[in-house]
Structure 1
Amino acid sequence: MNKLSLILMGFCLIVFSACQENNTETLKEIATVETTPEPKRPKTKLSKEFKDYWYNGEAEITSYKLEQARYGEMREGSAVLVFVTEDFLPEVQVKADNYSKTNIPVLKLNATKNFNTGIYPYFIMQSTFYPVANNQHALKVSASIQEWCGHVYAQLNNRGKFEITAHSYFQGEADQNYSIGKTWTENELFTKLRIDPTSLPTGDISILPSLEFTRLRHAEIKAYDAYAVLKDGTYMISYPTLNRSLEINFNTTFPHEITSWEETTVSGYGANAKTLTTKATKLKSIKSAYWSKNSNIDESLRATLKLE
């Protein structure tokens, strides 16, 4: 082998080694991004008062008078928040049928809204599964919206990253599957508040707006810059780029019932677009094992909740 061949071979080996090293580093970076764990936060120590209230075999059901902004006008309707504790399967990410040490105890929130837009109705439901340990983000969030034009669905699963699945009848949205980095979610804050309101994030934060908002506004499901303030039983979030704000009012004493909330944002499109405020004001709250109240005689409970 001549001298020139040896030089060329040595050069190729150097280049190959460099490429291998760069590729390895790149793969390491990708792996790190995809599996970055959430910041470790201390677990919230659950008091006897908390356990007596939330682990007595009942759910808390609260009804609200709803004034909903939609298509540039205000609509009357009702909203319901259902809080209940249950065991959650961390891998499959559904409610556990049986107890296991590997289950994660969560405080689940099912939030519903019913209102009419002219001749046709809207039905909205959001579900949030938030660990009672209060030391990580929601394990799962989902939202469905039904009205006579069609229905849309979105789901967030908290695994290595936030896995987003969305289905819609709108052109340009259709079926989507993608991942985003972990961050605060607006949905989880309603539940986090019930465990320990002093743990709510404040100041400049990055936050994913509620799935209800992103679906109704056809906004991208991602984190947006926001500013949050906690003061005297009121938690406020402002989203400058979305021209939107959210205010949650709650009792400062346990169990920190949510008394009302307001969302101010642009409603409607084109000439009908205007800034309006959606409001939900508490009507009645009860504790009930509602899953067993499915007989006709149990319909009287709806009157108790002022839903009729």
Structure 2
Amino acid sequence: MKIQSLLILSAILFIVSCSKAPVRENIDFEQWGKYWFQGKAEISSFDLKQYRYGEERQGEAVLIFVTEDFSRKKQVKLDNPDDAGKDKIGVLKMNQTRDFVTGIYPYHMMLSAFTPTKEKSQGLKFTSSVQEWCGQSFSQINLSGTNSYSGKLNSYFEKEGDASISVTGLAEDDLWNLIRISPSEIPLGGVSIFPSLFYQRFSHQELAAEEAFIRIQDISTDRKQLELTYSSGVRVLKIDFEKNFPFEILAWEEIQTKSDGSKEITLAKRKAVKVLDYWKRNKVEDEFLRDELKLKY
């Protein structure tokens, strides 16, 4: 009976150990925590040259990175994380905004990505919204299984309006958070990946995975560059970031090749960065911080 009991206990321990989510590797969690768990967000502003309707537009982009307690089941920020138990999972959230003008009317865009920090997992959720004078659209996809996402697109266009989305593969929008968490976690070489939700809105194409190639190389003594090249040859994404922790993002470039061989190149270069609890800085007297971040929009 003793042997049988030990065997049962061993089996239970084996099952429990196998069910635990793998932990991200090559991360100094003490160093990581001192930067990301100080109760503040990192805000970076960028000069933006955004191509739209075949022309280059001057604008501004902002990246906001902050850690949050997330619900595994609902995939939303927890209101009471201390009471959530095993439903709680730590994520790094990126909010990316882009503002520019096309002729008489403005574009306001926002992309959000939520990626587990300690557990080795794909991003849990991605959303994007685009507002301009013609109307607005909103997309959301959630991790629904191993390597697969499902969600919805709500758009003012008849062809696209209120459509379901299903896609399998790595999310391009996950790469930004993976750079900040640990660049060594990014798969290199050939990958199956689907493009940014921003690109999907601009191209009005169905969201679908494509074979692509990822490489990371040194481009200076203190800077690395991630380069994502899609096999179709239509799209290339380059993200420049600091070689050392906390791997701050310094610039990015998106190259789109048109059917006639011409290229549209969107560029963003950082102009300022601050770490602060921006959600508490909502008074008129706090507006000087916008000047320090060199924000125009």
Determine if the TM-score, normalized by the shorter chain, exceeds 0.5.
yes
Distance in 1 (alpha carbons) for counterparts of 2:233 and 2:160: 19
From 248, 263, 267, the counterpart of 2:239: 248
Distance in 1 (alpha carbons) for counterparts of 2:165 and 2:227: 29
Number of aligned positions between the proteins = 265
Residue aligning to 1:298: 286
Matched letter for residue 98 of structure 1: N
Distance in 1 (alpha carbons) for counterparts of 2:248 and 2:23: 24
TM-score (norm 1): 0.82
Matched letter for residue 228 of structure 1: I
Change (3 A) 1:286 1:87: same
What are the Cα deviations for residues 133-181 of structure 1, in whole angstroms up to 9, with x where unaligned? 2511111000000100111111111123411210111131111114333
Residue aligning to 2:209: 223
* Bigger fraction of residues in strand: 2
Answer whether contact 2:255 2:265 (CA < 8 A) is retained. Answer: yes
Summarize the alignment of residues 1-308 of structure 1 with structure 2, pairs less than 5 Å apart: 42-44=23-25, 45-99=27-81, 100-102=84-86, 103-133=88-118, 135-160=120-145, 161-181=148-168, 183-232=169-218, 233-241=224-232, 243-266=234-257, 274-308=262-296
Distance in 2 (alpha carbons) for counterparts of 1:41 and 1:245: 31
Change (3 A) 1:236 1:41: farther
Answer whether contact 2:69 2:77 (CA < 8 A) is retained. Answer: yes
Matched letter for residue 40 of structure 2: E
Residue aligning to 1:32: none
Answer whether contact 1:59 1:289 (CA < 8 A) is retained. Answer: yes
Matched letter for residue 163 of structure 2: Q
Question: Gaps spanning 5+ residues in structure 2: where?
Answer: 1-20, 219-223
Answer whether contact 1:227 1:237 (CA < 8 A) is retained. Answer: yes
User: Which stretches of structure 1, 4 residues or more, deviate above 3 A after TM superposition?
Assistant: none
What are the Cα deviations for residues 206-239 of structure 1, in whole angstroms up to 9, with x where unaligned? 1011100011111211211111111111100111
Answer whether contact 1:86 1:95 (CA < 8 A) is retained. Answer: yes
Answer whether contact 1:164 1:177 (CA < 8 A) is retained. Answer: yes
Distance in 2 (alpha carbons) for counterparts of 1:180 and 1:279: 28
Q: Which has the greater radius of gyration?
A: 1
Answer whether contact 1:260 1:282 (CA < 8 A) is retained. Answer: yes
Give the secondary structure class of the aligned counterpart of 1:241.
Answer: coil
Distance in 2 (alpha carbons) for counterparts of 1:218 and 1:49: 42
Identity of aligned residues (%): 40
State the superposition RMSD in angstroms.
Answer: 1.7
Distance in 2 (alpha carbons) for counterparts of 1:284 and 1:134: 31
Answer whether contact 1:193 1:256 (CA < 8 A) is retained. Answer: yes
Distance in 2 (alpha carbons) for counterparts of 1:292 and 1:41: 35
Change (3 A) 1:258 1:134: farther
